[in-house]
Amino acid sequence: MTSASIFLQIIFNGIMLGIQYSLVAVGFSLFFGVLDVINFAHGDIFMLGAFVSLILINVTGMLTASGATYVFLLILVIILSMIIVGGLGVFFERIVVKPVSKGPTLMSLVATLGLGIAIREAVRLFYPRGSETKRFPELLVKLFPGKEAIEFKGIILRYDNLLILAVGVIVVILLALYINKTKMGLTIRAVAQDAEAASMMGVNKNLIIDVTFFIGSALAALAGFMNGLYYNSIIFDMGAMAGIVGFSAAVIGGLGNIYGAIVGGFLFAMVESLSAALIPKGSEYMTVIAFAVVILFLIFRPSGILGERAYERV
């Protein structure tokens, strides 16, 4: 492999991971902005997305179909898993997250941590042979018989990875449009910036919270699906790390700032990708190095790259 292709591979890997991390990080920022909570169960929502999509893949019998039916079922599985997990997100918000958000932030942190653990263990205990790694099938290879992947400038691009890329870009654009152009989206942004001002303007806070959690959870679910597709495997505790990474990325970008979360996600992924490729034994330490970068950010720019929410009310 030439150094150019190695470089391209690093960038591509970074983008692949970056999309997934960003989608999770956006949720963290949204929840913090709208409800002032750190939702540590969010990583496990990501995990639920992976498992629910796997269940749907099996239930719809998608893998036995072909052609247009296959594509249709694939899209159905993706959207349905996002909706289901989005709904679960709202459910958990109603019974756990919102009640504890009224107290100190630290309490909501622990409560959501407990919730996340309960979700994680529930999957381990109640999903058949839950503690084992589950195989997540390759999805797009079916449509292109004969060829395994595309080669581009020396790097191998699996079809599934291209799918992740395409879907990721589309979703990010849709999200940006949503929070900038639609009434609900703008309201969410307003509430995320200053909840008190927004409530004085007669905004239905509870509805905003529900919508926010739905969107955040749906995005995390999509990321979970992507993660399963990327590694071709899922496991019950995949959400633990994803949660920490997502939270870190949101912090780097500035909690409450949606664009910041996206930037943070990509930054974290790039650091990981670079470390894995360039440092000996890097793939084991890449997360550690990325965390070190996060800590550096906390020291030198605690409000994040794009800025956290403003002043605390005295």
Partner 1 sequence: MKKENKFLDCIKIILVEVVAFFLFLFFLKVESIWTVIVAILLVALIYFLSKIYKEKFQALLEPFSKYQNFAIGVLFILLVLYPIISPLMIVHSTYWTLILIQTGIYIMIALGLNFQLGSTGMMNLATAAFYGIGAYTAGLLALKLGWSALITIPLAGLAAAFAGLLLVIPIYKTKGHYLALVTLAFGFMLVLAADNIEIIGGPQGLKNIPPVNIFGYSFLTNIGGLHFYTNYYYLVLALLGITILVFARLFNSWVGLTSAYIRDDELAAKGCGINTNFRKLIVFVVGNFFMGVAGALYAHMIGFISPPNFQFAQSLLIVAIVIIGGMDNILGVIIASILLVVFPEKLRVVTEYRIFLYGILLVVTLILRPRGILPFGPRKYDSSILKFARKGGS
Partner 2 sequence: MAEEKKTIFYTEDIEMRFGGLYALKNINIKIYENEILGMIGPNGSGKTTFFNVITGFYKPTKGRFYFMGEDLTGKEPYDITRKGISRTYQTSRLCLDLTILDNILIGTYPVQKSGYIDAIFNRKKLIKEVKKHTERAVHLLNIFNPNLVEKLFVPVGSLPHIDRRRVEICRAMIAEPKLILLDEPSAGMNADETQELMDDIEKVRKEMENVTIMIIEHDMKVISSVSERVIALNFGQVIAEGTYEEVSHDKEVIEAYLGKEVANG
Least distance to partner 1 from the beta carbon of 193, Å? 17
CB 257 within 8 A of CB 308: yes
The string over 208-226, giving b where at least 16 C-beta atoms fall within 10 Å of a residue's C-beta and e elsewhere, is bbbbbbbbbbbbbbbbbbb
Least gap, CB of 194 to partner 1 (angstroms): 17
Cβ 176 to partner 1 shortest distance, Å: 26
Which chain residues interact with partner 2 by CB under 8 A?
310-311, 314
Task: State the DSSP string of 84-153.
Answer: HHHHHHHHHIIIIIHHHHTS-HHHHHHHHHHHHHHHHHHHHHHSTTTTS-EE----SGGGSSS--EEEET
| Cα 114 from Cα 121, distance rounded (Å) | 10
**Is 303 strand, coil or helix?**
coil
Instruction: Tell whether residue 114 is a contact of partner 1 (CB under 8 A).
Output: yes
- Strands of 154-235 (E only): list them: 155-158, 233-234
Interface with partner 1, residue 284, by CB under 8 A: yes
Judged by beta carbon distances under 5 to 8 A according to partner kind, the member of partner 1, partner 2, none in contact with residue 156 is none
Residue 266's binding partner among partner 2, partner 1, none (Cβ under 5 to 8 angstroms by kind) is: none
| Residue among 59, 76, 110, 197 that touches partner 1 (CB under 8 A) | 110
User: What is the distance between the alpha carbons of residues 301 and 247, in angstroms, rounded to a whole number?
Assistant: 16
Does the protein bind partner 1 through residue 305 (CB under 8 A)?
A: no
Stretch that binds partner 1, among 3-11, 104-112, 135-143, 192-200 (CB under 8 A): 104-112
Q: How many angstroms separate the CA atoms of 170 and 168, rounded?
A: 5
Rule CB under 8 A: is residue 118 a binding residue for partner 1?
A: yes
Residues 217-246, mask of contacts with partner 1 (x by CB under 8 A)? -----------------------xx--x--
Which range of residues in 2-10, 120-128, 143-151, 155-163 is near partner 1 by CB under 8 A?
120-128
* C-beta separation of 139 from 74 below 8 A: yes
Stretch that binds partner 1, among 17-25, 133-141, 184-192, 293-301 (CB under 8 A): 293-301
Residues 173/181, Cβ–Cβ less than 8 Å: no
Residue 48 to residue 220: CA distance in whole angstroms: 9
311 binds, among partner 1, partner 2, none (CB under 5 to 8 A by kind): partner 2
CA angle 127, 86, 67 (to 5 degrees): 75
SS3 309: coil
Closer residue to partner 1, CB minimum distance, 121 or 210: 121
Residue 314 beta carbon to partner 2: minimum distance, rounded to whole angstroms: 5
Cβ atoms of residues 19 and 165 within 8 Å: yes
User: Which listed residue (278, 279, 302, 310) binds partner 1 by CB under 8 A?
Assistant: 302
Q: Under the criterion CB under 8 A, does residue 247 sit at the interface with partner 1?
A: yes
Give contact residues for partner 1 (rule: CB under 8 A): 38, 96, 99-100, 103-107, 109-111, 113-122, 125, 240-241, 244, 247-248, 251, 284-285, 287-288, 291, 294-295, 298-299, 302, 312, 314
